[in-house]
Amino acid sequence: MADAPLQHPDADKLTGMEHEKQYDFQLPEKYFYKSEKGLNARVIEKISYFKGEPQWMLDFRLKALDIAIKKGAPKWGPDLSGLDFDDIYFYIRPQEKQGTTKSWDDIPEEVRNTYQRLGIPEAEQKVLAGVGAQYESEMVYHNLKEEWEKQGVIFLDTDTGLKEHPEIFKEYFATVVPPEDNYYAAVNSAVWSGGSFVYVPAGVEVDVPLQAYFLLNAQQIGQFERTLIIVEPGAKAHYIEGCTAPTYDSDSFHSGVIEIIAKENSNVRYSTIQNWSHNVYNLVTQRAMVYDNASMGWLDGNLGSKVTMKYPSCYLVGPGAHGEVLSIAFAGDGQHQDAGAKVIHAAPNTTSSVVSKSISKGEGTSSYRGLVQIHEGATNAKSNVECDALLLDETSKTNTYPYIEINEKSAHVGHEATVSKLNEEQIFYLQSRGLAEDEAMALIVRGFLEPVAKELPLEYAVELNRLIELEMEGSVG
Amino acid sequence: MSENRLEIRNLHARIEGGAEILKGVDLVVPAGEVHALMGQNGSGKSTLAKVMAGDPSYEITDGDILIDGESILEMEPDERARAGLYLAFQYPVEVPGVSIANFLRLALNARREDDDEIGVMEFYEKLQRAVKELNWDESIIERNLHEGFSGGEKKRSEILQLLVLEPKYAILDETDSGLDVDALKVVSQGVNAARGANFGALVITHYQRLLNYIVPDKVHVMSDGRIITTGEKELAMQLDDKGYDWIKSEVASGAAPA
């Protein structure tokens, strides 16, 4: 990549207006260790060394690097030509010691202040069962309320999970998303760092959410968290992930892998509200194995980022398993949101529902890319896909790529797609009731998203609305 | 007190780039009065309503619209609404995913200062009073704005909004069209509930029928983009009996005041 800054002509507007002060942070770069740029075996060995990992994990990482090199980047999907691995720091270690703290006071003040501005410690007290906070490549804070710890729930950063619970870890790690799965999963497997390790014992219902919050601060950083969630039979968990980064002229890279194992009769939800700045490539693999009569729900809010490629998947491998993917994408000026869902019906009586809502504005593009696959023998499978796109103006674009593969006669599969444009009559109507034009537009957009937003816990629905309003600023013209 | 009125002066308007539809409308609705505006299809009644509310698809080429002596011509539709004007639409739009309750709370707060939002209890009491006035079930406020509403329900919603937002001046654009007698009575009951010294209304209709329930103080007749005559409430009945051609020839012959 040349040195020319990849700055959008409206960069000032994007950074100045569209991100309220809360998200407008840039901390001085102070690190214990910053890797050389680029992806190679030296960097991987350093990562493993600092973490004090067992040999098998280093071997796993090096093998994943080989797989990544052999596979090469995918040729389909959005333009990723601006993403140059040789210009990315694959590992930045904020502090010397490995492991997280249970007290916000132990976190460097500037970092703590940023989390405070985002309201994380406050939310932790009020509405969450536990919180993890990742800064650059490492988790710096992780805490689970005592009542859950007593019931055997484990909520740790993934590195600590590997150290303290090697048996559980080894049994499940990389079984849902092996490095061979796709190029970015291989890259993540090679350099993964941080993320959450969640284990909920059989029958334990964690009815308030666990949350992890990911911050990128450095320029040209790559963040590769690895989250592993195991929910035993009859148990229940809701995990929420939030993320943000300051805006720089140069690009950053976020490529997480999330693996979920939802055992028999369990109920698992994973919600993401991502608010990356507009210079982040966000390429994430999220997948769940869903066993007999278990229910898995992904709720995916994609705001921000430069390019997002994310297709949360449910592999319905046990009879009666249910999978749900609800997603929202907002593609503002210069952004490309390529999001969707993947549902594999591999057992009888499995059901799935996909609802995707996208909004595009200015030079933004949003695409729905989805796969519904019904295997032979997966009798009476039912799947319904609904994707709705809203265009805010004449220049924005939307695409739909639905793939449906049915190998079972008894399957019921429905697919519905709509594209609508922001309606002048609606705006006039709402204005005639006293709402200013931008308020009217925001209200129409909120209404469009309501079927998905209502599935979020109240605090997050409010947050989502606020983020949408920020993205909408400057839409009136 | 003479300033308290809705006034239209020599108003000329057209669809942007198109032929003139309003060709010099003069009309005054004083606060405290309800006036009827009658006319055939294509006479310009609905255009007048939309132009007053600030519909951006129309262009005003001459004249003025004033609320209590202040011109609203340069105001955006939302500013006109906040200045006290309300249009009950002939064809209210649907806004999916937005509940009536949420929408009306936003609309009310848009009329207030940022630090003076309406209290939740106060709002719901107000909304419930209006719902009762219209013999409606309370659950209506949780439904999305006009989503899946029948034509009659949409009209009722327009009057519900009027009762909650309490404008100074309301224009009702063929609120009676498509209503059966029961719905007509309910809607009229709502409008009559809003009547008072600080409320003026212009009720646009084809038919005299509505005016049995909302008795007007004055009746204006519109034809070809102008008000051709103004009379008392009896004029509406005569129009119903004798038709618009009769009034046109009356005006032409000087038998009715122009």
Please report, for chain B, the start and end positions of each structural domain, with discontinuous segments joined by +.
5-96+168-253
pLDDT in tens, B2-40: 589 999 999 999 998 899 999 999 999 999 999 999 999
CATH number for B5-96+168-253 (one of 3.40.50.300, 2.102.10.10, 3.40.50.720, 3.40.30.10): it is 3.40.50.300
- Residues of B in Cβ contact (< 8 Å) with A443: 95, 98, 103, 106
The yes-or-no verdict on residue A92 having pLDDT over 60 is yes
In angstroms, the CA A267 to CA A281 distance is 31
pLDDT in tens, A129-164: 888 888 888 888 888 888 899 999 999 999 999 999
- Of residues A386 and A8, the one with the higher pLDDT is A386
CB-based contact B110 A446, cutoff 8 Å: no
* Cβ A476 vs Cβ A17: under 8 Å: no
Segment A109-135 mean pLDDT: 81
Nearest 10 degrees: CA dihedral of A150, A152, A156, A162? Answer: 140
- Residues of B in Cβ contact (< 8 Å) with A440: 78
To the nearest whole Å, the CA of B198 is away from the closest chain A CA by 19
Segment B188-215 mean pLDDT: 93
pLDDT grade, residue A455 (50/70/90)? confident
The yes-or-no verdict on residue A227 having pLDDT over 60 is yes
Is B253 exposed, middle or buried (CB count within 10 Å of its CB: 0-12, 13-18, 19+)? exposed
Q: Confirm or reject contact between A449 and chain B (CB < 8 A).
A: yes
- Of residues A12 and A148, the one with the higher pLDDT is A148
Q: Confirm or reject contact between A121 and chain B (CB < 8 A).
A: no
CA distance readout (Å), A73 to A83, A84, A85, A336, A466: 11, 11, 11, 18, 35
* Residue-level pLDDT at A252: 87
Q: Confirm or reject contact between B171 and chain A (CB < 8 A).
A: no
To the nearest whole Å, the CA of A385 is away from the closest chain B CA by 19
In angstroms, the CA B29 to CA B32 distance is 9
Q: How many CB pairs under 8 A join A and B?
A: 80
Average pLDDT, chain B: 94
Q: Confirm or reject contact between B96 and chain A (CB < 8 A).
A: yes
CB-based contact B95 A451, cutoff 8 Å: no
Segment A425-451 mean pLDDT: 94
| Minimal Cβ distance to B110: which of A429, A439, A447 | A439
The yes-or-no verdict on residue A13 having pLDDT over 50 is no
Reduced to 3 states (helix: H, G, I; strand: E, B; else coil), residue A390 is strand
CB-based contact B106 A435, cutoff 8 Å: yes
* Residue-level pLDDT at A276: 82
| Minimal Cβ distance to B92: which of A429, A440, A443 | A429
pLDDT grade, residue A379 (50/70/90)? very high
CB-based contact B93 A434, cutoff 8 Å: no
- Residues of B in Cβ contact (< 8 Å) with A328: none
* Residue-level pLDDT at A23: 58
| Minimal Cβ distance to A446: which of B76, B92, B97 | B97
| Minimal Cβ distance to A447: which of B57, B87, B95 | B95
The yes-or-no verdict on residue A6 having pLDDT over 60 is no
In angstroms, the CA A105 to CA A383 distance is 48
- Interface probe with A: pick from B98, B102, B159, B172, most Cβ of A within 10 Å: B98
The yes-or-no verdict on residue A385 having pLDDT over 80 is yes
Reduced to 3 states (helix: H, G, I; strand: E, B; else coil), residue B197 is coil
* Residue-level pLDDT at A18: 37
- Interface probe with A: pick from B99, B106, B108, B111, most Cβ of A within 10 Å: B106
* DSSP assignment letter at A154: E
The yes-or-no verdict on residue A126 having pLDDT over 60 is yes
* Residue-level pLDDT at A475: 63
Could you tell me where the beta strands, DSSP code E, fall in A255-321?
Answer: 257-262, 267-276, 280-290, 295-304, 307-310, 313-316
Cα angle A157-A162-A164, degrees, rounded to a multiple of 5: 90
CB-based contact B107 A425, cutoff 8 Å: no
Reduced to 3 states (helix: H, G, I; strand: E, B; else coil), residue A355 is strand
Q: Which residue of A has its CA nearest to B93?
A: A426
* Residue-level pLDDT at A25: 64
Distance of CA A66 to the CA centre of its chain: 26
In angstroms, the CA B189 to CA A227 distance is 62
pLDDT grade, residue B1 (50/70/90)? very low
Range ranked top by mean pLDDT from A2-16, A85-99, A144-158 = A144-158
CB-based contact A447 B161, cutoff 8 Å: no
The yes-or-no verdict on residue A249 having pLDDT over 60 is yes
Cα angle A458-A463-A465, degrees, rounded to a multiple of 5: 95
The yes-or-no verdict on residue A383 having pLDDT over 80 is yes
Show Cβ contacts of residue A125 under 8 Å, excluding neighbours closer than 6 positions. none
Average pLDDT, chain A: 88
CB-based contact A447 B77, cutoff 8 Å: no
pLDDT grade, residue A9 (50/70/90)? very low
The yes-or-no verdict on residue A4 having pLDDT over 70 is no
Token pair for residue B200?
């003026």
Is B55 exposed, middle or buried (CB count within 10 Å of its CB: 0-12, 13-18, 19+)? buried
**A 170-189: CB under 8 A from B:** none
- Interface probe with B: pick from A326, A431, A455, most Cβ of B within 10 Å: A431
Range ranked top by mean pLDDT from A108-112, A385-389, A438-442 = A385-389
Show Cβ contacts of residue A163 under 8 Å, excluding neighbours closer than 6 positions. A52
- Lowest mean pLDDT segment, chosen from A27-41, A179-193, A259-273: A27-41
pLDDT in tens, A403-417: 999 999 999 999 999
* Residue-level pLDDT at A22: 55
* Residue-level pLDDT at A19: 39
CB-based contact B93 A451, cutoff 8 Å: no
Phi (first) and psi of residue A99, to 5 degrees: 105, 170
Reduced to 3 states (helix: H, G, I; strand: E, B; else coil), residue A341 is strand
* Residue-level pLDDT at B81: 98
Helical (H) or strand (E) element with B86:
strand B85-88
pLDDT grade, residue A476 (50/70/90)? low
CB-based contact B53 A432, cutoff 8 Å: yes
pLDDT in tens, B222-249: 999 999 999 999 999 999 899 999 999 9
Pairing outcome for strands A382-391 and A351-360: parallel
